[in-house]
């Protein structure tokens, strides 16, 4: 590794150690969690899926891909925050895993630290991946891996609540019509909309569709468009269309409010689809609308499959075969269905919708989605996000006006 890359790596480790939340790890393949043990016919894979043990479809897929490549897979799963730390520390010791599956906003951090190879280096084929999804793994004009799938945000709605309020969901096309629907729902004695505005990345994640839907850009938090988005949320709270609880809601607690059956709308993600099917009432899904119509860009969630830098460059050929297998059309369909992900390629998405037509609104939402680190923000995004969620909290609590809160946020970012 070049000296400049090592300096960046040390700096990244220091930053990650300060901000990381300690997590746990589990191994489904046995052996040490250290990647250097991957000698001979063994290749290491690290991923952020500790919920999947060695009997899971995901673990079996890894083993199958290993068999096809003629190697044995040694898989270790970490909590997302711990995975970043472990990877940075392992890279410093030239002990990184052969294949790393990592949350997409982390890709730019690892890339800037010199931890990841580019697709030019590792020859991964990303030609079928949608450009808006691939952008989350790009930094400085280079691509560092390929997405295994994507999730994003949209609006769930309760059909019975809307019917009782006399609202035709087809009329909800922009912010004005959505607010009008919320007013009708409240007048009918029901509740409007719930979402997560908690003072963490979850709060920023949920605000971004409205922020981007206003025409605002993350490089300019205090624009008039950004102010209009935050004013939308604060007005909803003032008028009783959204509950005061949104200030402390996580995406999970927000969903629990919606699942109780009194809310017309809830902003949430594809990961709630299984819970929605169990809610006990008819629901639908529509993309978050832009201010003046059309679908807003919601942030993309999901992981990238990457190849870390290795001292033994001869290992890249087999690692590339493993990633190609994991992201093949056949395997993406099975994996993304199991993970409640929308596939990153049109070919696989068509198969998903054919098998489950209810995924169509999510496919539309993913097509309009945008990476949080896109626009070449890279490692600037975490600081911007922190100031954004602080501004949202200040405005919703009434301690500052939307304009003042966003101006303060922009000043802090500069």
CATH code for position 26? 3.40.190.10
Assess whether 244 and 393 both reside in one domain. yes
User: Please, which pLDDT band fits residue 339 given cuts at 50, 70 and 90?
Assistant: confident
Angle between helices 381-397 and 402-413 (to 10 degrees): 160
The mean pLDDT of 167-185, rounded to a whole number, is 98
Indicate if 211 and 272 belong to the same structural domain.
yes
Verify that 190 and 82 share a domain, yes or no: no
Residue 146 neighbours by CB under 8 Å, 6+ apart: 119, 124, 126, 129, 134, 137, 304, 305, 323, 327, 344
Helix axes 201-213, 251-259, angle to 10 degrees: 70
Whether 290 and 354 map to the same domain: the answer is: no
pLDDT of residue 140: 87
Average pLDDT, stretch 74-79?
Answer: 94
Q: Does residue 208 sit in the same domain as residue 237?
A: yes
- Reply yes or no on whether the pLDDT at 366 is more than 70: yes
* Phi, psi torsion values for 34, nearest 5 degrees: -70, 140
Average pLDDT, the chain: 89
| pLDDT surpasses 80 at 108 | yes
pTM value is 0.82
User: How many whole angstroms separate alpha carbon 299 and alpha carbon 211?
Assistant: 11
Q: Which helix (H) or strand (E) holds 267?
A: strand 263-269
Contact, 35 vs 97, CB < 8 A? yes
d(CA 147, CA 302): 7
Q: Note the pLDDT of residue 334.
A: 86
Token representation of residue 35: 């990647």
Residue 5's pLDDT band (cuts 50, 70, 90): very low
Output DSSP code: residue 71: S
pLDDT mean over 98-122: 94
Asked if residue 129 belongs to a domain, the reply is: yes
Domain count across the chain: 2
Regarding whether 289 and 171 lie in a shared domain, the answer is yes
pLDDT band for 337, please (50, 70, 90 cuts): confident
Query: How does residue 292 score in pLDDT terms, banded at 50, 70 and 90?
Result: very high
- The answer on pLDDT for 300 being more than 60 is yes
What is the helix (H) or strand (E) element at residue 191, kind and residue range?
strand 191-194
The percent of residues above 70 in pLDDT, for the chain, comes to: 90
* Percent of the chain residues past pLDDT 90, beyond the cut: 79
Q: How does residue 160 score in pLDDT terms, banded at 50, 70 and 90? A: very high
> Are 186 and 146 found together in one domain?
no
Residues 8 and 71 in one domain: yes
What is the token pair recorded at 167?
Answer: 């609202």
Name the least confident of 1-5, 56-60, 115-119.
1-5
Q: How many CB atoms lie within 10 A of CB 116?
A: 30
Q: What pLDDT does 81 receive?
A: 74
Instruction: Check residue 26 and give its pLDDT.
Output: 46
In angstroms, rounded to a whole number, what is the distance separating the alpha carbons of residues 92 and 115?
9
The predicted model gives 346-352 an average pLDDT of 94
What residues make up the domain containing 338?
Answer: 3-150+302-367
The residue among 154, 127, 205 whose CA lies nearest residue 366 is 154
Q: Sorting pLDDT into bands at 50, 70 and 90, what band is 14? A: very low
252: left (phi over 0), alpha (psi -120 to 50) or beta: alpha
Residues 68 and 142 in one domain: yes
> Do 253 and 361 sit in the same domain of this protein?
no
Are 379 and 368 within 8 A, CB to CB? no
| Other residues' Cβ atoms within 10 Å of the Cβ of residue 41 | 11
Are 354 and 383 part of one and the same domain?
no
**Total residues belonging to the chain:** 414
* Average pLDDT rounded to a whole number, residues 129-138: 94
| Cα–Cα dist 57/62, whole Å | 9
Question: Which has more pLDDT, 6 or 361?
Answer: 361
Position 394 confidence tier, pLDDT thresholds 50, 70, 90: very high
Tokens coding 406? 């966003």
Output 196 or 378, whichever has higher pLDDT: 196
Pairing of strands 142-143, 138-139: antiparallel
Could you report the per-residue pLDDT of 233-259, keeping only the tens digit for each? 999 999 999 999 999 999 999 999 999
Measured CA to CA, the distance from residue 277 to residue 36 in angstroms comes to: 44
Domain co-membership, 90 together with 232: no
Alpha helices in 101-223 (DSSP H): 107-112, 119-122, 131-134, 159-164, 175-187, 201-213
Determine, yes or no, domain membership for 372. no
Q: What is the β-pairing status of strands 25-27 and 72-78?
A: antiparallel
Q: Is the dihedral of CA 367, 371, 372, 377 positive or negative?
A: negative
* Closest C-alpha among 242, 234, 291 to residue 405: 234
More confidently predicted of 81 and 257? 257
């Amino acid at each position: 590794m070049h000296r400049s890359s090592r300096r960046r790596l040390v700096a990244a480790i220091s930053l990650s150690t300060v901000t990381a939340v300690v997590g746990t790890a589990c191994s489904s393949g046995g052996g040490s969690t250290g990647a250097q043990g991957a000698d001979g016919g063994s290749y290491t894979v690290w991923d952020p899926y500790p919920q999947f043990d060695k009997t899971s479809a995901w673990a079996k897929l890894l083993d199958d891909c290993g068999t096809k490549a003629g190697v044995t897979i040694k898989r270790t799963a970490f909590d997302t925050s711990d995975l970043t730390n472990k990877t940075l520390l392992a890279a410093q010791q030239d002990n990184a895993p052969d294949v790393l599956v990592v949350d997409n906003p982390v890709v730019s951090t690892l890339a800037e630290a010199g931890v990841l190879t580019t697709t030019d280096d590792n020859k991964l084929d990303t030609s079928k991946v949608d450009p808006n999804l691939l952008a989350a793994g790009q930094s400085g004009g280079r691509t560092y891996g390929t997405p295994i799938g994507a999730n994003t945000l949209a609006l769930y709605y309760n059909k019975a609540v809307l019917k009782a309020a006399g609202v035709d969901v087809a009329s909800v096309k922009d912010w004005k019509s959505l607010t009008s629907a919320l007013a009708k729902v409240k007048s009918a004695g029901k509740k409007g909309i719930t979402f997560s505005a908690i003072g963490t990345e979850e709060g920023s994640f949920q605000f971004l569709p409205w922020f981007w839907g206003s025409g605002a850009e993350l490089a300019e938090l205090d624009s008039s468009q950004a102010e209009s988005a935050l004013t939308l949320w604060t007005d909803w709270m003032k008028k009783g269309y959204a509950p005061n609880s949104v200030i402390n809601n996580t995406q999970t607690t927000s969903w629990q409010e919606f699942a109780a059956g009194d809310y017309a709308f809830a902003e949430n993600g594809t990961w709630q689809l299984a819970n929605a099917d169990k809610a006990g009432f008819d629901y639908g899904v529509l993309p978050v609308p832009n201010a003046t119509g059309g679908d807003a860009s919601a942030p993309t969630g999901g992981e990238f499959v990457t190849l870390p830098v290795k001292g033994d460059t001869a290992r890249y050929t087999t690692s590339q075969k493993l990633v190609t297998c994991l992201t093949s059309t056949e395997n993406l369909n099975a994996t993304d269905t199991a993970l409640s992900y929308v596939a990153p390629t049109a070919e696989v998405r068509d198969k998903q919708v054919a098998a489950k037509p209810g995924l169509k609104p999510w496919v539309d939402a993913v097509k309009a989605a945008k990476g949080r680190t896109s626009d070449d923000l890279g490692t600037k995004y975490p600081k911007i996000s922190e100031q954004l969620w602080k501004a949202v909290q200040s405005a919703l609590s009434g301690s500052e006006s939307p304009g003042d809160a966003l101006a303060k946020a922009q000043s802090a970012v500069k």
